Amino acid sequence: MRRFHALALTLSLLSAAAIVAGPVSASASAPSRSGNTTITLMSHDSFAASKKVMRAFTKKTGVTVKVLPSGDAGAAVNQAILTKSNPLGDVFFGIDNTLLSRGLDAGIFEPYTSPELANISKDIQLDPRHRVTPIDTGDVCVNFDRKYFTDKKLTVPQTLDDLAKPEYKGLLVVENPATSSPGLAFLLATVSKFGPDGWRAYWEKLRDNGVKVVDGWEQAYNTEFSGSAGKGDYPLVVSYATSPPAEVVNADPQPDEPPTGALLDTCFRQIEFAGILKGTTHEKAAKQFIDFMLSEQFQEDMPLQMYVFPARDGTKLPSVFVKYAKVAPRPFALPPEEIAKNRDQWIDQWTSTVLG
């Protein structure tokens, strides 16, 4: 019996400690000097930056940024839309061109034309009203396992059409576009390439050629793909053009050559944007942060933090990117409005074609 009281006591003390510790350390991380503001950056779970870079921003502007990871890209955008009457953050980062129209139509962003836009290519400034600002780009491409193709003395496929050829039967794993952002991007690549009338026929060929569909990127890349850690059975996987350099950086010892490569003729270009959330009470600080995200310092930091390409022209790339990260010369693309109009229907059609 005494033991039971000990349990009750321990648990209550620990939870009391938790409750007390919560607010205390939260406020401890925010600077208490008057005049300083804290803004909340709502983003998808993959947002990352060097602590040093974020500190530099705070030092320069007096603004502290608190990051609020809100699920994958789709979930984060939807949360921002659901809470638009009482937003969870001041700035949103991570809405991409496949989701852009949904966010713009929902009216969650405040227009802001950053002076830094002068350094950003017009091609990726998709919203003429500047409700969102392009921050980075990334190509979703089929990746291949070098060793597999060398060992089998098999030519590495190059194009989308190649993937449907019999010599590559049962080698490709893709993500379900209904549950995965790279999966959707790859579907859009095929729609862009084969047109609204032809893409289903292409997927029928892929299906007959034994394409494997899994739920998400983590499973496809880490478990099914043979070229990375999971040592799966599929030497071709839908991933990013920046996955090969990541395989070099995140390995011990680091190899001279990445064990994988990206097929640059299979890529769909994702552009990620940031926007000021309507209803923010820190508009000035929010604008400062958007400017900062486009600054050289932040843009140079991004590649090795999030494995994306900087949006800012002339940004110096880390050497591992220069060596191993290829940019697709002619990536596939679709206008955001067209994606918004057809996405759900395409996913349904894809589901009945490939899984049906």
Q: Is 228 an interacting residue with respect to other proteins (CB under 8 A)? A: yes
How far CA 354 is from CA of 9, 125, 176, 183, 212, in Å, comes to: 57, 34, 10, 13, 10
Question: Do 174 and 168 touch, CB atoms closer than 8 A?
Answer: no
Question: Do 286 and 39 touch, CB atoms closer than 8 A?
Answer: yes
- The residues in 158-187 that bind other proteins, with binding defined as CB under 8 A, are 176, 178-179
Report DSSP state, residue 252. S
The DSSP bridge partners found for residue 38 are 64
Question: Do 41 and 80 touch, CB atoms closer than 8 A?
Answer: no
| Residues binding other proteins: number (CB under 8 A) | 79
Q: Which residue has the tokens 């991007």?
A: 185
Task: Name the minimum Å distance from CB 181 to other proteins.
Answer: 10
Applying CB under 8 A, among 154, 201, 251, 322 the residue interacting with other proteins is 251
Round to whole Å and give the CA distance between 270 and 253: 31
Task: Name the minimum Å distance from CB 205 to other proteins.
Answer: 18
Nearest Cα to Cα of residue 91 among 66, 125, 116, 126: 66
Q: Is 256 an interacting residue with respect to other proteins (CB under 8 A)? A: no
Q: Is 69 an interacting residue with respect to other proteins (CB under 8 A)? A: yes
User: Judged by CB under 8 A, which stretch of 150-158, 247-255, 315-323, 332-340 contacts other proteins?
Assistant: 247-255
Q: Is 46 an interacting residue with respect to other proteins (CB under 8 A)? A: yes
Nearest Cα to Cα of residue 234 among 223, 245, 218: 223
- Closer to other proteins by CB, 17 or 201: give it: 17
DSSP string, 185-198: HHHHHHHHHHHHHH
Q: Is 66 an interacting residue with respect to other proteins (CB under 8 A)? A: yes
- Closer to other proteins by CB, 120 or 242: give it: 242
Task: Name the minimum Å distance from CB 273 to other proteins.
Answer: 18
Q: Which residue has the tokens 């994988």?
A: 260
Applying CB under 8 A, among 64, 239, 266, 270 the residue interacting with other proteins is 239
- The residues in 71-110 that bind other proteins, with binding defined as CB under 8 A, are 71-72, 74-75, 78-79, 81-83, 86, 88, 102
Round to whole Å and give the CA distance between 277 and 52: 25
Task: Name the minimum Å distance from CB 344 to other proteins.
Answer: 6
Question: Do 144 and 236 touch, CB atoms closer than 8 A?
Answer: yes
User: Judged by CB under 8 A, which stretch of 3-11, 118-126, 187-195, 282-290 contacts other proteins?
Assistant: 3-11
Task: Name the minimum Å distance from CB 95 to other proteins.
Answer: 13
Task: Name the minimum Å distance from CB 121 to other proteins.
Answer: 26
